[in-house]
Structure 1
Amino acid sequence: MTDDKTLVSRVLQGDMQAFRLLIGQHERLVAHMIGRLVKNNEEREELCQDVFLKVYEKLSDFSFQSKLSTWVATIAYRHAINWMRKRKMPMTDLAEEDHFKAAFVEEENPESLLSDQDMNGFVMTLVDALPPQYKTILTLYHVDAMSYDEIGQVTGLPEGTVKSYLFRARNLLKEKVKKCIGKEELL
């Protein structure tokens, strides 16, 4: 794995192999960022490509004030949010927990959900039903192992808000799991 400064320098010098390496190192992160907000496969793929084009275009502006991965994640997050806004997709008010509740078909039997998928898949289904900002923050923290500060840089939110949203997202998730499977000891 090449260090970020060397990699960026090589890309800026026109080394396309270095850019491929940069994409390879960050494609999972970008896919997570976009995938948490955009459900259509073709649109996700196009948005991911757009993100890496923006990264390439703006790389000369990157000043190493943060980690390269944080900067790339910021571009991906903002690109997905802007895409959602342009399409007038609902960016629910985070105080409204009804969005989370409405995302589930109550007639579904939780036992059948669990038998059809493993527990991770079940939890990710619940995570996908969270409002976009909650889902993004929860994923960045638990899946991508970003710090509060890094999440704040990506989302543009103050650290206290990041902590608050993470707390709310975990509680929403915990309550839904309890309700669906009736076992408090899981969480």
Structure 2
Amino acid sequence: MENQYTLQNKTKSKDEFFNRIIEHSHYLYRLAYRLTGNPEDAEDLTQETLWQAHRKADKYVYEKSLKAWLSMMMTNRFRDKVRKKSLKMVAIEDNLLSPQSIHSYAPSVEEEVENKMTLEKVKEEIEKLPEIYRNVLILRHFDGLSYSEISEALQIPEGTVKTQLFRARKMLKSRLSE
């Protein structure tokens, strides 16, 4: 039977861990928004992931990246939601909306339409990629994770991450050039 001192230490430790998790909430929301394409669904997915991470704090291995662990947890939760609710995965390209491009150059209406059509085509083709290639591509290019962080998040070897990323880019390039 645990004594009161042990219980207080576990509670304190869990609260400290929760504070570490909360530090990643903005990153998690951005990831959730990229996955869901919807602010409300992104908020729900973020809250569910934070709650699940807090609940599973004892399963976290401190040698691993907390960000990668949370990403994996969110990605798995999203996959479960997609299977259950048939949500569509949407990838959003932030570069077209960067402050530098907005202030330095104002595209014409035709260029804006063309950019939007190109972005939609890229989104469609990313959605059509096999799941493992799609996940690796999004984690690397949209979330900015390193190869090792992707390896941890998807629980696959780093060499496999590089191979799958190469294949994903090749498939995407081929599909976009058609």
Q: TM-score range by the shorter chain?
A: 0.5 to 0.7
* Bigger fraction of residues in helix: 2
Percent identity, please: 25
Whether contact under 8 Å (1:78, 1:155) holds in the other structure is: no
What secondary structure sits across from 1:14 in the alignment? helix
Shift of 1:88: 5.0
Shift of 1:46: 0.7
State how far apart, in whole Å, the 2-side matches of 1:163 and 1:80 are: 23
Query: Cα 1:15–1:79, aligned 2, differ >3 Å: closer, same or farther?
Result: same
State how far apart, in whole Å, the 2-side matches of 1:84 and 1:144 are: 20
Task: Output the aligned Cα RMSD.
Answer: 3.7
Query: Cα 1:124–1:144, aligned 2, differ >3 Å: closer, same or farther?
Result: farther
Query: Cα 1:66–1:14, aligned 2, differ >3 Å: closer, same or farther?
Result: closer
- Listed one character per residue, the Cα deviations across residues 83-134 of structure 1 (whole Å, up to 9, x for unaligned) are 112235689xxxxxxxxxxxxxxxxxxx978423758x94586146413433
What secondary structure sits across from 1:157 in the alignment? coil
The normalised TM-score by structure 2 is 0.62
Say yes or no: does 1:133 pair with 2:132: yes
Q: Which amino acid aligns with 1:115?
A: E
The normalised TM-score by structure 1 is 0.60
**2:15 alignment partner in structure 1:** 14
Decide which of 87, 112, 116 is 1:115's aligned counterpart.
Answer: 112
**1:48 alignment partner in structure 2:** 46
State how far apart, in whole Å, the 2-side matches of 1:141 and 1:116 are: 27
Whether contact under 8 Å (1:114, 1:122) holds in the other structure is: no
Decide which of 78, 81, 85 is 1:80's aligned counterpart.
Answer: 78
Aligned residues: 148
What secondary structure sits across from 2:83 in the alignment? helix
Structure 1: runs of 5 or more not aligned:
1-8, 92-110, 180-187
The within-5 A match list for 1:99-178 is 114-116=111-113, 122-123=118-119, 126-127=122-123, 129-130=125-126, 131=129, 132-178=131-177
| Pair member with larger Rg | 2
Whether contact under 8 Å (1:12, 1:59) holds in the other structure is: no
State how far apart, in whole Å, the 2-side matches of 1:166 and 1:144 are: 14
Of stretches 77-86 and 132-141 in structure 1, the one that deviates more from structure 2 is 132-141
Structure 2: runs of 5 or more not aligned:
1-9, 90-107
Query: Cα 1:124–1:139, aligned 2, differ >3 Å: closer, same or farther?
Result: farther
Whether contact under 8 Å (1:36, 1:136) holds in the other structure is: no
- Listed one character per residue, the Cα deviations across residues 9-43 of structure 1 (whole Å, up to 9, x for unaligned) are 99735369x62x632x3234323443343234322
